[in-house]
Structures are given as structure tokens and as C-alpha cells.
Structure 1
Amino acid sequence: MNKEKCSSLEEVRNHIDRIDQSLIELLATRQYYVDQAVRFKHSVQDVQSPQRVEQVIAKVRAQATEARIDPDLIEKLYRDMLQHFIQRELKEIRP
């Protein structure tokens, strides 16, 4: 994504609004694939998969560091998001 110097607060806000829209679309796409993944999971352990969670966290922390964004922020966001998706999946596999 191109970054450009802004000349007004309005311009900054417009860029942020476009980024927010892109993030929402990306999260919706991620949710779509999470919803598909639950078809391949048959137990609570399959859904919770702590080793997969830690694998994802390690990967996004490294990507955050490379992108020069606070890896603690990214970890918090991802842990919250992953927990939400785990709860969503658990509703599908529990009677």
C-alpha cells in the first residue's frame, strides 16, 4: 500500500476511512474461511488448537516487526480475533 504525505486532517481521515473499509473487507474474508474450516473440525480440541494459535501469533508478531508496527499491539488484536473465531466455531460443533 502506498503511503503519502497528507496536507490536511481531512485528507488523513479520508485515508484512514479507506483503510478501515479495506480492513473490514479483509476480516469478512477471513471469517468466510474460518466458517469453512469448521467443517473439517470434529472436536473442541480441533477448534481450540492452542498450537495453531501460537503458530499464528508467532507469524504475525514477526510480520509486525518487519512492518515496523508494535508486535504487542498485533498480538493483542490477533488473540482477540482468534478467540472470537474460536467461540464462533465452537457454536457450530456443539449441540
Structure 2
Amino acid sequence: MTTSSKKPAECATKDDVRAEIDRIDQALLNLFAERHRYVTRMAQIKTDPHEAYDPVRIEAVISRVRDRAESMDLDEDQAELIWRTLIDWNVNYEKGIIVARRRAE
């Protein structure tokens, strides 16, 4: 896979567009993996499974994501759906780690 990139208007074929989408998907996976390492660390720091769900923090993140998406001309509803899915998964993941650790203690 190439590391160079083309702007959307520079893509002349479907293959050009697909190559750029594949490049972006790889970058997103790298970022998700990095984010996941921080979520794992957060789960190691938290002591109670109820700490994994913080509605005030979640809504602040969602608000920020919606604002940023809008400023980037990205559909805010789509961005919110992606982040809520990610957050829901992370909450459950954190709870699982915390519960497992407490059982082992």
C-alpha cells in the first residue's frame, strides 16, 4: 500500500478512491488501537466497575464531537453514532476488566 495520498478531486478512478479509503482505514485502525491502549490503562486505574459509566463525561465528549464534526462539514449525527458505539464498547470493556481484577483480588 502506498503512503502517498491524493486529494479526492485528484482521484480519477474507483481504484484511486479505494486506495485512499484503504489508507485512511489503516490510519483509523492505528488511532483506534492507540485509543484502546488508553482505555485499557483507564480500566487499570479505576477501582469500581460503576466508574466505567460516567454520563457527564460521555455527554461532554459527544457534544465536543458534534461541534467538531459540524466545523469539519461532517454529519454530526453520524459522528455521534460512531462515538456512542465506541464509548458503549469501551464502558463494557472497562467494566469487564475491573470486575475480573476485583474477583482475582
Bin the TM-score by the shorter chain.
over 0.9
* C-alpha distance after superposition, 1:65-85 (max 9, x if no partner): 000000000000000000001
* C-alpha distance after superposition, 1:35-63 (max 9, x if no partner): 01112212233110111100100010000
**Which of 78, 83, 87 matches 1:73?**
78
Percent of aligned positions that are identical: 33
TM-score normalized with structure 1 length: 0.93
Q: Which has the greater radius of gyration?
A: 2
Q: Which residue is 1:54 aligned to?
A: 59
In the TM superposition, residue 4 of structure 1 has moved relative to its aligned partner by 3.9
Q: Which runs of 4+ in 1 moved over 6 A?
A: none
In the TM superposition, residue 2 of structure 1 has moved relative to its aligned partner by 7.0
Q: Which residue is 1:35 aligned to?
A: 40
User: What SS does the aligned partner of 1:68 have?
Assistant: coil
Structure 1 distance, partners of 2:21, 2:78, is 18
Aligned residues: CA RMSD:
1.5
Structure 2 distance, partners of 1:80, 1:4, is 28
Aligned pair count?
A: 95
Structure 2 distance, partners of 1:32, 1:18, is 22
Tell whether the 8 Å contact from 2:6 to 2:20 is kept in structure 1 after alignment. Answer: no
Change over 3 Å in CA distance of 1:2–1:64 after alignment to 2: farther
Where in structure 1 are there 5+ consecutive unaligned residues? none
Q: Which residue is 2:92 aligned to?
A: 87
